[in-house]
Amino acid sequence: MTRRILAGGLTGLLAACVFAAAWQAGEAGAKKSDSEVKVKAVAGPAQGGKQTITLTLDINKGWHLYANPVGQEDLVNAQTVVEVKADGKPVAAKIDYPRGTVHKDKVVGDYQIYEDKITIPVHVAATGPVELSVRVQACDARKCLLPATVKVKVP
């Protein structure tokens, strides 16, 4: 029981340090996470009031994003999240996040990450123009950047 409490405390402390370091780096003018990932969206044909948008995240070499689900409770706020809006209002969507790659960490525990290039199918209950907001946090082997939200308009 004591080990579990200690491990939980260390995990929380590590997560707090990662976010605090990213925040302090941001205050000093450091890069945000969107500098290490390119986001592109392409809409498929609309059918029956619905359409599927293929969202592509191209992550720079040596960097990773936290997958959704990340698989580690202390990192949930850092996982990749997609939201859809039309005319500034939320739109019903089914987002098929791909499975991440397991990242083994002896301190925090294993969690899921995205590397290289991933595609996320977004099934939208709308046929007109929509805006996707993609929240990401990029990290390399030494540091994490400030979280960023990338907005992409899809005609």
Q: Check whether 76 has a pLDDT greater than 60.
A: yes
Instruction: Provide the pLDDT for residue 60.
Output: 98
CA–CA dist 51, 154 (Å, integer)? 11
Name the domain count of the chain.
1
Where does the pLDDT of residue 25 fall: very low under 50, low under 70, confident under 90, or very high at 90 and above? very low
Instruction: Provide the pLDDT for residue 29.
Output: 67
CA-based torsion, 78, 79, 85, 89: positive or negative = negative
One-character DSSP codes across the chain: -HHHHHHHHHHHHHHHHHHHHHHHHHHTTPPBGGGGEEEEEEE---BTTBEEEEEEEEEPTT-EEE-SS-S-GGGGGGB-EEEEEETTEE--EEE-PPP-EEE--TTT--EEEE-SEEEEEEEES--S-EEEEEEE-EE-SS-BPBPEEEEEEE-
Tell me: the pLDDT tens digits for 114-129?
A: 999 999 999 999 888 9
Range of the domain at 124: 2-154
Q: Check whether 14 has a pLDDT greater than 60.
A: no
Tell me: the pLDDT tens digits for 26-44?
A: 454 679 999 999 999 999 9
Tell me: the pLDDT tens digits for 36-72?
A: 999 999 999 988 989 999 999 999 999 999 999 999 9
Tell me: the pLDDT tens digits for 85-125?
A: 999 999 999 999 999 999 999 988 999 999 999 999 999 99
CATH number of the domain that residue 17 is part of: 2.60.40.1250
Instruction: Provide the pLDDT for residue 152.
Output: 97
Torsional class of 41: left (φ above 0), alpha (ψ -120 to 50), beta (otherwise) = beta
Contact 69, 112 (CB under 8 A): yes
Instruction: Provide the pLDDT for residue 8.
Output: 55
Q: Whole-prediction pTM value?
A: 0.81
Where does the pLDDT of residue 2 fall: very low under 50, low under 70, confident under 90, or very high at 90 and above? very low
Higher pLDDT residue, 144 or 2? 144
